[in-house]
Structure 1
């Protein structure tokens, strides 16, 4: 993870190897962003837009250009970083544009020792956007073979919110940026951890290996805390069978590596803390089982555990930040493989709550493992439950590769949308039409897991299936099949491969569950 600090000094005093600026596209010439804030501590750069135009730089979205500082005509050019990097924001200049621009710049600066970001950062919202974008954009998957270029090592964000030099103060400097940077670091590390898990080869990240990772990560976040406790509980294959988790056990029965269910609970030391359950689909590799996928669909199926990685990372981030919200993550882990003991189309399984399901399509396995985990989660009577899954190809058909779907109880669905907007992630509300419920009717069980041969409303039918297992608990289902994994070129702060999509939204959603009475002032005995 890159080191990040803030400074209220001038760019000349901070130094660095590269000075990062952002520009908005205009008809005549690019317009530098932030003259009223971040650029106020820079020398006169009024000639730069005209120079950018001569270089053919239009400030189009995600465009970048490097300019030697020596090309500038002003008396203080020698005191600046030797290179300027300008990133385009298209016609945007809002918080989302700043987050994306900072991420795009950080991606381009791999291998650089120290970059100074002079994007607008005069409010906590803008500073958070720049810091989060820069940290997430600087990500590289460290386990790549051969080794990747090292990420940007040091980031300094110029902001008036940072501490003033002691020579200008009569007392110790105040740092209004500190809590903003702390949250940005925790969030970026959570996103990076999710990306790492998704990028790992499926032979390395088996259900058992995922369990061991969860144990290590929780151990790193939990010991010595006085504001709450962090616990990990693991259901092995024998316990899954004995306790009636027929969905998870059935999906995993064809694999050499047995399935697991993991419960990770953050319990803050506050009275009446609201309880949010997060349930994640964790299919560490999905071949489709006996309903085998076509070969072209399999290379990305190592990412079918992104939901579990997302809810784990969000829960650990909540613990690290000490959020006064009880958060329980349920990771439903299995490999879906066509072994000799694999689940067959036509089998009937019994979910944890006693519901029987006819398996008509073994490639509709995600909803089976989620059903078990949802049933276990709601048995603890949380105030709200949210499940996250790379569940359906229909989500990609409907919304594309960068927009996720959310459906469920109206209040929770709207809460997710609001949190996503602040987090800079794109979710779209989807309905659960009553007439589609008929697709789940079975003559042999309470439900069937898929309507074979009927692709109409596939994403919505999957949501209706999951709704059967939440009872009256307020609930939302997040289908992140498209945005969780980027098969194409990197863009903005998003790398190729695992994206970490959803972590920022879940963290913002958890923060929104905090009320004034739950800010930690009313400690439990």
Structure 2
């Protein structure tokens, strides 16, 4: 869906549907108030009927509004005026776009609910465009019969309060559209089944992405190359699978040649049965989502390419399957990582950290300004934070603070957990430098403690997205998180005006 921004009298603009916000208690935003005056008070007359309360996400469709060039007028509830923030715009308008997608309307105009005196335009536009793309997302690649919308929305126009806001709004459309591209890519990769989305498939998709831009170089390391590098920890995980492991490396050169890159390292387990420490059968199909960390790296890189961000970014995705086999890791096995540190494997289902540790060591060669790893790493994170926030742990408080701020700004939130030295003792092993699990307590923290032993050479943060990367139940599917958070971080590091 394409978006543009303009100013002017909304009632005079021809469109299939004009979308306007309404607060609770019949209070109208500035843009809606001006429109209602032009319509002879029609909106307020409807509100007096009290069929429409203005609750967040509530919609009411009116046909052939008076003195208006629009064929339809769609009222959208914004909630209480005193509580309204830009983040609420996305939550409020998503149901409106879902309704329009099935209404036969091919274009719409949205009047932003702010006036010339505030600076919320950029965020309001970001939220609106993100909601439109979320409403249109479908995953039907594996269905024999597709059911696309008969007449989907193709164009959207955003009405801003004044000409001074046009530049900010147009910039927001570009950013939001790029983030939507990256989010869709991450969702598509994650939603594919494990028999299609193998490590080799991921590598091929990375190479396709590399052909989109001369600024992006993609390389793929084979198992033989990884063996020569000493990646014994990563390769121990893939031994139980017929699918060869791949180490996918993106190098996006958008900044100065000598500028240190931001490195994103994403766990790419295309299917995780747990290995010899096999998982319960119930819901094991969802372990195709164990590569969502890697998928988010793909998405963030795709967004960089689309925006041509003036920054250098490295993406590293270690990809493998974790299956039970005669050659698979056994509890008690000891492997040697690329760093030279030895690891006693007490639970073969704690494999994500085994592939990430070698990928983190490999990332040192790029001399990164900061490294963020992203992984569906621990069920303990779901217990702690549910599906609302990703877990965040870091060896640098400033980096952690940046990510927390970017999570709040983008609506893709994270919550910081401690990484105190006292937790490290839970990884003590009698037979190796460390063991790969830390016992029952603080599972998310001890998993990060494990990774921290391979990150001493750089500033590092870890995002545990086990609870946020996908939804279960009737709405089962990948969320595309944390592509918005990562892209927000890259935008700020690139010092792009927002």
Asked if these proteins are the same fold (TM beyond 0.5), I'd say yes
Provide Cα deviations, 1:45-82, integer angstroms capped at 9, x if missing partner. 755356357464333333x3232235x6xx415x3232
Q: Which of residues 438, 450, 465 in structure 2 aligns to 1:465? A: 450
Instruction: For residue 177 of structure 2, give the secondary structure of its aligned residue in structure 1.
Output: helix
Q: 1:399 to 1:175 in 2, by over 3 A?
A: closer
Instruction: For residue 101 of structure 2, give the secondary structure of its aligned residue in structure 1.
Output: coil
Aligned position for 2:15: 16
Provide Cα deviations, 1:246-293, integer angstroms capped at 9, x if missing partner. 222111111111111111011125254242111000111111111111
Aligned position for 2:118: none
Q: Which of residues 48, 52, 57 in structure 1 aligns to 2:52? A: 57
Worse-matched range after superposition: 256-265 or 84-93: 84-93
Q: Which of residues 418, 421, 428 in structure 1 aligns to 2:405? A: 418
Q: 1:470 to 1:161 in 2, by over 3 A?
A: farther
Q: Which of residues 394, 399, 405 in structure 1 aligns to 2:391? A: 405
Provide Cα deviations, 1:102-131, integer angstroms capped at 9, x if missing partner. 333223332342222223266333223322
User: What are the equivalent positions in structure 2 for 1:81-480 lying under 5 Å apart?
Assistant: 81-89=71-79, 92-111=83-102, 112=104, 113-120=106-113, 123-143=121-141, 145=143, 146-150=145-149, 151-160=152-161, 177-220=169-212, 222-223=213-214, 229-270=215-256, 272-408=258-394, 409-451=396-438, 454-480=439-465
Q: 1:17 to 1:87 in 2, by over 3 A?
A: farther
Q: Distance in 2 between matches of 1:186 and 1:296?
A: 36
Aligned position for 1:80: 70
Provide Cα deviations, 1:325-372, integer angstroms capped at 9, x if missing partner. 210000011111112322111111111111111111111111111111
Does the 8 Å CA contact 1:198/1:302 hold for their aligned counterparts? yes
Q: TM-score by structure 1 length?
A: 0.86
Instruction: For residue 22 of structure 2, give the secondary structure of its aligned residue in structure 1.
Output: strand
Cα deviation, residue 392, structure 1: 0.7
Cα deviation, residue 312, structure 1: 1.9
Query: How many equivalent pairs are there?
Result: 484
Worse-matched range after superposition: 236-245 or 355-364: 236-245
Does the 8 Å CA contact 1:120/1:127 hold for their aligned counterparts? no
The structure where helix makes up a greater share of residues is 2
Instruction: For residue 109 of structure 1, give the secondary structure of its aligned residue in structure 2.
Output: helix
Q: 1:380 to 1:67 in 2, by over 3 A?
A: closer
In structure 2, the gaps of 5 or more residues are: 116-120
Aligned position for 1:483: 468
Does the 8 Å CA contact 2:193/2:288 hold for their aligned counterparts? yes
Instruction: For residue 211 of structure 1, give the secondary structure of its aligned residue in structure 2.
Output: helix
Provide Cα deviations, 1:76-108, integer angstroms capped at 9, x if missing partner. 15x323242424446642110112223332233
Q: Which of residues 66, 69, 75 in structure 1 aligns to 2:63? A: 69
Runs of 4 or more above 6 Å deviation: none
Does the 8 Å CA contact 1:9/1:41 hold for their aligned counterparts? no
Q: CA RMSD in A?
A: 2.5
Q: TM-score by structure 2 length?
A: 0.90
Does the 8 Å CA contact 1:360/1:448 hold for their aligned counterparts? yes
Q: Distance in 2 between matches of 1:329 and 1:53?
A: 55
Q: Distance in 2 between matches of 1:306 and 1:39?
A: 44
In structure 1, the gaps of 5 or more residues are: 165-173, 224-228, 491-495, 520-525
Instruction: For residue 211 of structure 2, give the secondary structure of its aligned residue in structure 1.
Output: helix
Cα deviation, residue 207, structure 1: 0.5
Cα deviation, residue 199, structure 1: 1.0
Q: Distance in 1 between matches of 2:40 and 2:428?
A: 67
Q: Distance in 1 between matches of 2:495 and 2:486?
A: 17
Cα deviation, residue 184, structure 1: 1.7
Cα deviation, residue 387, structure 1: 0.4
Cα deviation, residue 480, structure 1: 0.9
Q: Distance in 2 between matches of 1:109 and 1:489?
A: 22
Q: Distance in 1 between matches of 2:495 and 2:52?
A: 47
Q: Distance in 1 between matches of 2:313 and 2:146?
A: 36
Provide Cα deviations, 1:133-187, integer angstroms capped at 9, x if missing partner. 32333322242524243353222222246799xxxxxxxxx86643322222111
